[in-house]
Amino acid sequence: MSSLSQRDLSVLWHPCTQMKEHEIYPLLPMVKGDGVYLIDDQGNRYIDAISSWWVNLFGHGRVEIKRAVQQQAEELEHVIFSGCSNIPAIELAEKLVAITPKGLDRVFYADCGSAAVEVSLKMSFQYWKNIGRPEKQKFIALSNGYHGETVGALSVGDVALYKETYGPMLFDTIMAPSPDCFYREQGESWYDYSLRQFEKMRSLVEKHHHETAAIILEPLIQCAGNMRMYHPVYLTKLRDLCDEFNVHLIFDEIAVGFGRTGTLFACEQANVVPDFMCVSKGITGGFLPLAAVLTRESIYEAFYDDYSSLKGFLHSHSYTGNALACAAGVATLNIFEQEPILENNKKLINKLSEVAEQFVDHPFVGDVRQTGTVLAIEMMKDKKTKEAFDWRERRGIRVYQHALTQGALLRPLANVVYMMPPYVITEEEIELLARVAWDGINKAVKD
Ligand SMILES: *Cc1c(COP(=O)(O)O)cnc(C)c1O
């Protein structure tokens, strides 16, 4: 074991990790990033196939972002964001308002995705209280959804692995069956299945709208829920439903925003505008933690009153509007302005579709799905009956182990091998990842 690993394991506690696993699986201390590559303390290079937990857009060490952070650090690193402001925070908010769908005109910053989700839930809740509908207190969310790990975000999430242990700490949420098309009938289209699932949402909303503040969901891809996907028609229908019954719609675009689904934001594919949109992850190109909640001017106005009305949104994080993070955000959005990123990504998307094909007929691959730049390959014990491998067998981690020996950081979610690479990845590198995934899956499904 390298000395960095030893030092790490004697003092650190890592996220989403059973630390005992590191008795078997080595920890990888990374010392350098170079475009799509990560380089560990032994000098090994790995393709970052999952964009370092979905945050990296343009590769590691992207020079414009690096420079922007450096320059901002020379001027002002951070200042309290109550009563004070800073230039990058203003610039970034202007840009966010400009690039997000029309109608999202107010920006509230938070420092991670989970915090942004908490902000959106609290804002919706308080909005109804402020306008005299205090009985609208509940939230509707999707089964298999994920919105982060803080207590409020977990309450509206539904990934058992992260949620079950903390059940007693959480507030009750109304769960609607997911439009996740994995469960569609043979021959049924994504469109038809998503519509069919929508009817169940409709019944829930008809029944609960009086007491419901908002519906929260991840548009198009339930990322942490094993990269499950659905058709945009669900979102189009849902927008109408929310309007009909006077319920807020919160889109958690934390993972899918900034081009992952092919459009800048996933909601564009449904041609709808949510009442709240949470963004984070890619917002700084993967450099610094930052999140934002965008909302409508009309919602902002319901909080705008004399101090003594107590209608203000009195929520804060110490690092709200951090100038360094916002500078990284501005530099990231400048790249989107200066380069035809979405246009260029079409090649990446096509290449992913091309390498996806070979997996379709694999005897232990039950589903191959893609939305934009996200490709997921789900290993199954029985392809026909869609019987899953026992989770205890840890098949996914075998793929991960194999990939590391081949110079790729390909970290499956349970039995779902997926690629969600930085946009700068080359076609050759995607082909390499596909070969690694293929061999890794073959190893993983044995015995
Ligand atoms: C990652 C993620 C979050 C949580 O963001 P953190 O920055 O990890 O707190 C919330 N929602 C979705 C959809 C995510 O993928």
Judge if the beta carbon of residue 255 lies within 6 A of ligand 1. yes
The per-residue pLDDT for range 309-334, each reduced to its tens digit, is 999 999 999 999 999 999 999 999 99
Q: Decide: residue 2, CB within 10 A, 0-12 exposed, 13-18 middle, 19+ buried.
A: middle
What is the mean pLDDT of the segment spanning 347-372? 97
The per-residue pLDDT for range 229-251, each reduced to its tens digit, is 999 999 999 999 999 999 999 99
The per-residue pLDDT for range 252-297, each reduced to its tens digit, is 999 999 999 999 999 999 999 999 999 999 999 999 999 999 999 9
Atom of ligand 1 nearest to the CA of 114: 9
Please identify which residue in the block is written with the tokens 């610094």. 288
pLDDT band at 95 (very low <50, low <70, confident <90, very high): very high
CA of 255 to the centre of ligand 1 (A): 7
The HSE-up count of residue 202 (CA atoms within 13 Å, CB side) is: 13
What is the per-residue pLDDT for 374? 98
Sequence-distant (6+) residues with CB within 8 A of 233 are 191, 194, 195, 198, 270
CA of 122 to the centre of ligand 1 (A): 17
Which structural domains are found in the chain, ordered by start?
A: 3-61+341-444 (3.90.1150.10), 65-338 (3.40.640.10)
The HSE-up count of residue 59 (CA atoms within 13 Å, CB side) is: 16
CA of 428 to the centre of ligand 1 (A): 30
Judge if the beta carbon of residue 263 lies within 6 A of ligand 1. no
Judge if the beta carbon of residue 180 lies within 6 A of ligand 1. no
What is the mean pLDDT of the segment spanning 127-142? 98
CA of 441 to the centre of ligand 1 (A): 27
Kindly report the average pLDDT of the chain as a whole number.
97
Judge if the beta carbon of residue 252 lies within 6 A of ligand 1. yes
The per-residue pLDDT for range 158-210, each reduced to its tens digit, is 988 888 899 999 999 999 999 999 999 999 999 999 999 999 999 999 999 99
**Which pair of structure tokens corresponds to residue 357?**
């094909």
What is the per-residue pLDDT for 162? 84
Q: What percent of the chain has pLDDT over 90?
A: 97
What is the per-residue pLDDT for 357? 98
CA of 383 to the centre of ligand 1 (A): 31
What is the per-residue pLDDT for 2? 78
Judge if the beta carbon of residue 280 lies within 6 A of ligand 1. yes
pLDDT exceeds cutoff 80 at 1: no
0.85 exceeded by pTM = yes
CA of 352 to the centre of ligand 1 (A): 24
The per-residue pLDDT for range 289-313, each reduced to its tens digit, is 999 999 999 999 999 999 999 999 9
